[in-house]
Amino acid sequence: MFETVIGLEVHIQLNTQTKIFCSCATSFGEAPNTNVCPVCLGLPGALPVLNIEAVKKAMRFGHAVNATIHPKSIFNRKNYFYPDLPKGYQISQFEIPIVESGELFIDFKDGSSKRIGITRAHLEEDAGKNVHDGDRSKVDLNRAGTPLLEIVSEPDMRSVEEAILYLKKLHAIVRYLEISDANMQEGSFRCDVNVSIRPKGDEKLYTRVEIKNMNSFRFIQRALEFEINRQIDAWEDGVYEDEVYQETRLFDVDSGETRSMRGKEDSAEYRYFPDPDLLPVVVSEEMIAEAADIPELPDQKRDRFISEYGIKEYDASVLTASLEMAHYFEAMIAEGAGPKNSVTWLTVELQGRLKNGMTLESSPVDAVTLATLVKRIEDGTVSGKAAKEVLDHLIENPQEEIDAIIEKLGLKQMSDDGAIEAMVDEILHANEDKVAEYKGGKEKLFGFFVGQVMKASKGSANPAKVNEILKKKLS
């Protein structure tokens, strides 16, 4: 039996207006090489000046994960050659990062949670992008110098599931903090995955492989599953030593396999040294304290949802996994919809109907509208089943009003006591033999009576009312 060991390095792009060492804009999707200047082009003699906003955002993150924030940290040069790195080195923090020794908690379906250590989080600049176009390669330096926070975890995760839960929690935290848009498609949240295996019970760490530059949860999952199997197979075939060595691999989306990219560099090979163009980053106690002013985080929001709305732990985790979802839910509550129904109608019914890349933000049904529908269920205007039809219709025709749709589709529930009572009387009268059997102890027949009344009303009678009136009449 084997155990999986996973440690993650996540790069998030900080959402500052300008780059980390120059005043170029960080905007995404501009014409190539338009957001550039002598500093980020690496022209000789140009000097970097640190953007304090990047430091503040890094410190906010540090507070959010209970980490130590170093009052003094250092920028180093990490030397390597690549066409998207015009200076020939990347400015990054090495021995003394701004943030060290933090933690976050991942939540399992059964309500339990697990602590994952965060080794460090350091500031660095992003490189440009190589764009491959047929037999030519081009370089776009718009991204060069964009501030990154690299968040390194301890090798604390023991399964693919735990790795994904960690990434989702981290994603939620940086979104809540508003320090990054964490848009995975645009590369503002990308991840290097380190993975090894070991015989269960063994304490020591075995050789790890690093899979670079992943930016989708689904691909991370597939890459990990493939890589874990590759390592286990090698072990079982007696070729572990030959086939598993410290290296960097890439995930090939088409084949679903990871393949070797290069041997892993030792940090010594980068010849790190303090950047002589930059002073140490010194932050005052006041600045550190100011950065502690952070909004309610996912775990706190989850706990508040549980105590304030009486919903289940797991539901609360799902709702708070994204800020949009949490806001949507609370907007429904503010509109007067009940918490339990809001959970179901938001996380199951609405989410299940958002197809083709539609998100909550682009949902045709807003929180006020969905809350109105829930209230129509709660006040007995429509049954839950009918409400599903209303929602189907709404998704296609978002401009229509709920009450008009209920009217138009004839979905209004009959809740009028008098009318239901008349139907009940009629059914009981027509089935006097069964009424006698029921009274003689055959209680199963209650369901039969309910069914008959529902049928007589063509499904429009309020089942709760039917039950109530039947009970009264039969007792």
Does 5 help bind ligand ADP (rule: CB under 6 A)? yes
Q: Which stretch binds Zn ion (CB under 5 A): 32-40, 125-133, 285-293, 337-345?
A: 32-40
The CA-based diameter of the chain, rounded to the nearest angstrom, is: 102
Phi, psi at residue 171, to the nearest 5°? -60, -45
Choose which of 37, 139, 414, 450 interacts with Zn ion (CB under 5 A): 37
What letter represents residue 74's amino acid?
Answer: I
What is the distance between the alpha carbons of residues 77 and 52, in angstroms, rounded to a whole number? 19
**5 three-class SS:** strand
Smallest distance from the beta carbon of 77 to ligand ADP, in angstroms?
Answer: 16
Residue whose tokens read 């009959």: 414
Binding to Zn ion, residues 7-26 (CB under 5 A): 22, 24
CB distance 28 to 16 below 8 Å: no
* Cα–Cα distance for residue pair 53/45, rounded to 1 Å: 24
Least Å distance between CB 79 and Zn ion?
A: 20
Binding segment for Zn ion (CB under 5 A), chosen from 35-43, 68-76, 215-223, 457-465, is 35-43
Which of the choices Zn ion, ligand ADP, none does residue 170 contact, using the CB cut-off of 5 to 8 A by kind? Answer: none
364 binds, among Zn ion, ligand ADP, none (CB under 5 to 8 A by kind): none
Q: Which residue is nearest to ligand ADP (CB)?
A: 7
Q: Which stretch binds ligand ADP (CB under 6 A): 106-114, 204-212, 271-279, 435-443?
A: 204-212
Query: Of the two residues 40 and 182, which places its CB atom closer to Zn ion in the complex?
Result: 40
Question: Phi/psi of residue 389, each to 5°?
Answer: -65, -40
Contact 229, 11 (CB under 8 A): no
Q: Pick the binder of ligand ADP from 7, 48, 97, 339 (CB under 6 A).
A: 7
Task: Decide whether 24 or 370 has the Cβ nearer to Zn ion.
Answer: 24
Q: 3-state class of 365 per DSSP?
A: coil
Region from 28-36, 153-161, 318-326, 357-365 binding ligand ADP, contact rule CB under 6 A: 153-161
CA separation for the pair 354, 85 (Å, rounded):
41
| Separate counts of helices (H) and strands (E) for the chain | 18, 16
- For residue 153, state whether it binds ligand ADP (rule: CB under 6 A): yes
Q: How far is the CB of 9 from ligand ADP (least distance, A)?
A: 5
What is the Cα–Cα distance from 301 to 435, expressed in whole angstroms?
53
Structure tokens at 111: 């309500």
Measure the CA–CA gap between 381 and 460, rounded to whole angstroms. 10
16 contacts 26 by C-beta, under 8 angstroms: yes
Q: Among 6, 40, 149, 332, which residue sits at the site for Zn ion (rule: CB under 5 A)?
A: 40
104, HSE (Cβ side, Cα atoms, 13 Å): 32
The residue (of 34 and 66) whose beta carbon lies closer to ligand ADP is 66
Q: Which is nearer to Zn ion, 36 or 318 (CB)?
A: 36
String marking each residue 418-457 x if it binds Zn ion according to CB under 5 A: ----------------------------------------
| 3-class DSSP state of 137 | strand
- Residue 196 binding result from Zn ion, ligand ADP, none, given CB thresholds of 5 to 8 Å by partner type: ligand ADP
CB burial of residue 236 (10 Å; 0-12, 13-18, 19+): exposed
Which amino acid does the sequence have at 302? R
Q: Which does 40 bind (CB under 5 to 8 A by kind): ligand ADP, Zn ion, none?
A: Zn ion
The 3-state secondary structure of 301-332, one letter per residue = HHHHHHHHHCCCHHHHHHHHCCHHHHHHHHHH
Task: Give the nearest distance from C-beta 268 to ligand ADP in angstroms.
Answer: 10
Q: Which one among 13, 51, 93, 194 touches ligand ADP, defined by CB under 6 A?
A: 194
Q: Which amino acid is at 128?
A: G
Total interface residues for ligand ADP by CB under 6 A: 16
- How many angstroms separate the CA atoms of 357 and 61, rounded? 30
Say whether residue 154 binds ligand ADP (CB under 6 A). yes
- At 428, list the tokens: 């009981």
Q: Which is nearer to ligand ADP, 171 or 376 (CB)?
A: 171
Binding characters for ligand ADP, 240-279, by CB under 6 A (x = yes): ---------------------------x------------
Would you say 14 or 40 has its CB closer to Zn ion? 40
Give the residues lining the site for Zn ion (CB under 5 A): 22, 24, 37, 39-40
Give the residues lining the site for ligand ADP (CB under 6 A): 5-9, 152-155, 194-196, 205-206, 208, 267
